[in-house]
Chains A and B, each alone.
Chain A
């Protein structure tokens, strides 16, 4: 046993040809967030505090799809969602439809700690944010030029696609052309376990480029994008609609619990069973193991364990 931590900055069609000026800042951020998380674990902070801390850092970074740097809705606005879960108590908190809250994950934590509810959305969540006095800013703070461009490209690609009256392709592999290379990137997340086996998971996102206003993805849905119990903690990323119907994060834990699979086996199985190109996840177990499988081209990720293993990567590593 021992502590372990894993974090991600999104799984998707990240081309090997991604230019250095897009790749390096993200790799640096992953290193930085990993260091912060490891330091917190070494300082004996509870995993719930660790995952919140790391996800706040990822939200603040403009190159990931969460907080600042969130992708835009079809109206060019930002609607952020997040979720946090404590493995021991299975207490959880989730928020959706945030437009002014600087750190969605912290509001999710407050929903968990300060209300009798698990999930608050939209105006109600924003009102709660004000009641709690969390940091809020004008929505424009979250919008980056890259995302304005992504939205423009997504809309142009959609011009030849469907309107609501035609059959929806969301249940087959979708061939969405990528404009800006990593336009499919979604979500940030962190999972952690301390040396006592306490587990926690946290995920945060701006959602799907050009999403309909009001669209909720997998991130705030317990068992889909985020889950933790006393066996493992999981944070998923990829195509929200797939992760929801696949109850991805719950399935990893369920396979461990009901079929006795190991963390690595359970996570690999779940990722394999879902449509290729749709899913990635990071997970840790109570025993201090880590796994970061994905069936997309790449996943921005990083992990470290107490016994000295450490990795920061984007594409499949050699041994996979």
Chain B
């Protein structure tokens, strides 16, 4: 094989009753991102730049849970996190606890390129953002009316919630759907489960370089200060010489399973191919957890796997293959 390839996601775990209109909006956004990525790759833009570009697009659009449209903390505020990794030398950058940075993925990139560290958080990260002169906005910019409504429902149900944009009327059916689908308990506490959305992009360019990027607002009604899998290298994001991976779903399960690293480890140490590694990890590494992931290999392959009810995703490869999907 060989050639470039791109995969993008907008989260795993979708309500089977999601209104058709919402499904169409999601597919349109994913398609738009793929086209953006395809043109960048055709212009020989390196993988690391392409993943950043696409995730910026996803952060800016309020449809998915990242940047604008992020899920809200228990205080009704937004705290965003992101990470990015460049395969060739495994350089990485991550941020957490952002409240005013318009594009968290770009700050993560700056941590990687312009700081002596790999991960900055909260006020230190915000301070770095100011020093770097990135675009800053009021926390209110990220908050959407829909999410304010979702937070209220979450508090009433006293649970951490799915995050997909559906009107309140549909919520009862989808909570029920969620309970039936995945009667999960978080760390032994009686909290009903969901699969929050996150966005991500993985790319291999025509030089065979892989990169991965993930960004999120996290869990609806999360405790302020809660860090999930998205900024953790090896959990939500990973890239090396062989492949690039971005995960989404139950953060805690992804962390315990070190999901992103394991896809690469299984290729490296067990010699599985990309799809084989993805299937193995989703089957064996999640235990009771629900998650999904997208991956690309240096040979131009794309793969995805999820044990959730659906995953918003899109793929395109240099030989003309292109697909956007939500369900199995």
Contact = CB atoms under 8 A, between A and B. Distances in A.
Contacts of A168: 113-116
A222 B232 contact: yes
Given A222-B255, A250-B234, A250-B258, A215 B226 contact: no
B310 to A, nearest CB: 23
A130 interface: no
A123 interface: yes
Interface string B92-126: 10101100000000000000011111111111110
B96 A224 contact: no
A124 B233 contact: no
A55 to B, nearest CB: 20
Interface of B is mostly: mixed
B97 A122 contact: yes
Given A116-B160, A247-B233, A215 B225 contact: no
Interface stretch (A14-22, A91-99, A285-293): A91-99
Interface stretch (A56-64, A181-189, A251-259, A295-303): A251-259
Interface stretch (A46-54, A143-151, A196-204, A206-214): A206-214
A168 to B, nearest CB: 6
B122 A214 contact: yes
Interface residues of A, number: 53
- Residue among A91, A115, A116, A120 with most chain B CB within 10 A: A116
A294 interface: no
B152 interface: no
B186 A116 contact: yes
B219 to A, nearest CB: 8
Contact of A115 (B94, B223, B266, B269): B223
A122 B126 CA distance: 13
B225 A121 contact: yes
A227 B232 CA distance: 14
B165 interface: no
Nearest to A96: B121
A115 B120 CA distance: 23
Nearest to B259: A223
A112 interface: yes
Interface string A117-128: 111111111011
Given A121-B97, A212-B124, A250 B261 contact: yes
Contact of B123 (A125, A213, A227): A213
Nearest to B262: A254
Contacts, number: 175
A121 B227 contact: yes
A111 to B, nearest CB: 9
Contacts of A240: 117-118
Contacts of A120: 223, 225-227
Given A162-B116, A245-B92, A251 B97 contact: no
Interface string B298-317: 00000000000000000000
A165 B233 contact: no
Interface residues of B, number: 55
Contact of A258 (B92, B121, B270): B270
Interface string A150-192: 0000000000001011001111000000000000000000000
A215 B120 contact: yes
Contacts of A94: 227
Contacts of B224: 123-124, 127
Contacts of A121: 96-97, 121-122, 225, 227
Nearest to B280: A258
A124 B258 contact: no
Contacts of B119: 215-217, 221, 244
A55 B101 CA distance: 36
A295 B241 CA distance: 24
A318 B173 CA distance: 67
B235 A122 contact: no
Given A123-B225, A222-B232, A247-B258, A117 B252 contact: yes
A246 B258 CA distance: 13
B120 A216 contact: yes
Contacts of B186: 116-117
B40 to A, nearest CB: 24
A45 B158 CA distance: 35
B251 interface: yes
Contacts of B121: 96-97, 121-122, 214, 216
B268 to A, nearest CB: 8
B166 interface: no
A245 B132 contact: no
A141 interface: no
B91 interface: yes
Nearest to A162: B116
B187 interface: yes
17 contacts: A118-B251, A118-B255, A121-B121, A121-B227, A122-B97, A125-B225, A212-B124, A215-B124, A221-B234, A221-B235, A222-B234, A223-B234, A244-B119, A250-B265, A258-B265, A258-B270, A259-B269
Give the 9 A-B residue pairs with the shortest CB-CB distance, closest first. A124-B225, A214-B124, A116-B186, A258-B269, A213-B124, A119-B227, A223-B258, A223-B234, A122-B122
Interface of B: 85, 89-92, 94, 96-97, 113-125, 127-128, 131-132, 160, 186-187, 189, 191, 222-228, 232-235, 238, 251-252, 255-258, 261-262, 265-266, 269-270, 287
Given A120-B227, A214-B127, 4 more contacts: A116-B186, A241-B118, A245-B118, A258-B265
